[in-house]
Amino acid sequence: ELAKQRAERSLELQAEMDRSRRRIESVKQEQNVIKTEQFGQTNKIQATPAVNHDERSSKQDDAIYVMQEELRELREMISAQAKQSTSQQSIEPMPQAVVTPSQSIVDERLERLAIQQPIRKQLLDSVASEGDSDTAWAKVRKQIHGAIQTEYSEIIDMGGVISLVGPTGSGKTMTIGKLAARYVMRHGADGIALVTTDRYRIAAHEQLKVFGRILNVPVHVVDEDNCLDAILDKCSDRKLVLVDTAGLMQSDRSWNEQLKELKMSAHRIQNYLVMPATGQYAVMKANYKHYKMVGLAGTIITKLDEAVSFGEALSYLIASKLSCAYVTDGQRVPEDIHLAERQSLLNKAEELLNSSERWVTIPSHANAQQHVDESVSNFA
């Protein structure tokens, strides 16, 4: 049954790759038609106004870029699946591993902590020989601590161009404001500038401009007349430039345009993926996959104050291997942004677990009525 599923998946991936190839060929054919039209127009004595072919060609170049990235990922997925299938075929089926009592206790803790698979399995395998559950848990906790990567210094102190990317609602603009205020408090306002590439939401412009007015920091907007590189050229005298980006989905028409603008910039841009701690692991994983093509220098975890658990975010940090630069836990500027530390992140995950378990504790039958009476009395 498993082999059948792998074969079906392999066929699906191959079909998707074939479709992507056909789409690329179709776009290339359209480009050839455009070039032919342009050549014909240059030989006309009286040329009539025509469609802007350069603009069409540019959009098609962008489309080819995205599809080539998709093809690359599909090739990697097919290759990985083929290797896995070959490896498993060459090895005799192994009996299911016996779970020791200590592993069972550790697994329960990891599950309550919301640590995701396959990370949980790897941690359990590492303590298979441990007989004592407390010793096993201490070892697992140490491994989680070691697997989390954080920055050793403030990225804003190092300067350069720092861009925050991520999905809509992740808190990019607010985080830009906190970082800007943090920098101004430490170094003054003369060495920093703010830039937004979000030309789609007026509210985002206004929020950033409010931060700029309060901090006495210039704010620049990327638009049709001012490309990102041109603005960054103007800001070359600033030690730190913080770039806020639009939270676009991959289905949006401007998705590739924005990512290409960041990736192909003549300036060295450090892109940090902003991820809310309130998100599900599957969503975090999908967002990481979407944004990694721009080249990620690290990540920032936001909305820690709104999260009911932190295991999903920890799993994302471990799986992505991205270095966590900061965490945010409130709306105050700049108080509610902190340099990420491995120990504090792990402590926060356990703190949220203990807090949630206190909330869901069900009173015994004997004390149930007393519990209800006290709740009603307190509410009144």
Buried b / exposed e over 170-201, threshold 16 CB at 10 Å, is bbbbbbbbbbbbbbbeeeeeeebbbbbbbbee
Domain coverage including residue 321: 155-358
- Over residues 308-330, the mean pLDDT reads 95
- Over residues 359-368, the mean pLDDT reads 43
Whether residue 168 is found in the same domain as residue 304: yes
Two structure tokens written together for 90: 């060459």
Whether residue 309 is found in the same domain as residue 289: yes
The pLDDT value recorded for residue 184 is 96
The pLDDT value recorded for residue 59 is 57
52 vs 158, residue with greater confidence: 158
* Domain count for the chain: 3
Any residues with CB less than 8 A from the CB of 247 and at least 6 apart, and which? 166, 167, 168, 169, 170, 172, 198
The pLDDT value recorded for residue 362 is 40
φ, ψ of residue 164 to 5 degrees: the values are -105, 120
DSSP 195-237: EE---S-HHHHHHHHHHHHHHT--EEE--SSS-HHHHHHHTTT
Is 345 domain-assigned?
A: yes
Q: How confident is the model at residue 185 (pLDDT cuts 50, 70, 90)?
A: very high
* For residue 156, pLDDT beyond 70: yes
Any residues with CB less than 8 A from the CB of 112 and at least 6 apart, and which? 353, 357
Instruction: Please provide the average confidence, as pLDDT, over all residues in the chain.
Output: 79
Whether residue 249 is found in the same domain as residue 331: yes
The pLDDT value recorded for residue 354 is 82
Among the listed ranges 101-105, 214-218, 238-242, which one has the minimum average pLDDT value?
Answer: 101-105
The pLDDT value recorded for residue 193 is 97
112 vs 91, residue with greater confidence: 112
Is 371 domain-assigned?
A: no
Best-predicted range by mean pLDDT (51-60, 153-162, 199-208): 153-162
Is 279 domain-assigned?
A: yes
44 vs 322, residue with greater confidence: 322
Is 368 domain-assigned?
A: no
Q: How confident is the model at residue 24 (pLDDT cuts 50, 70, 90)?
A: low
Is 63 domain-assigned?
A: yes
* For residue 175, pLDDT beyond 80: yes
Is 366 domain-assigned?
A: no
Q: How confident is the model at residue 9 (pLDDT cuts 50, 70, 90)?
A: low
Whether residue 216 is found in the same domain as residue 325: yes
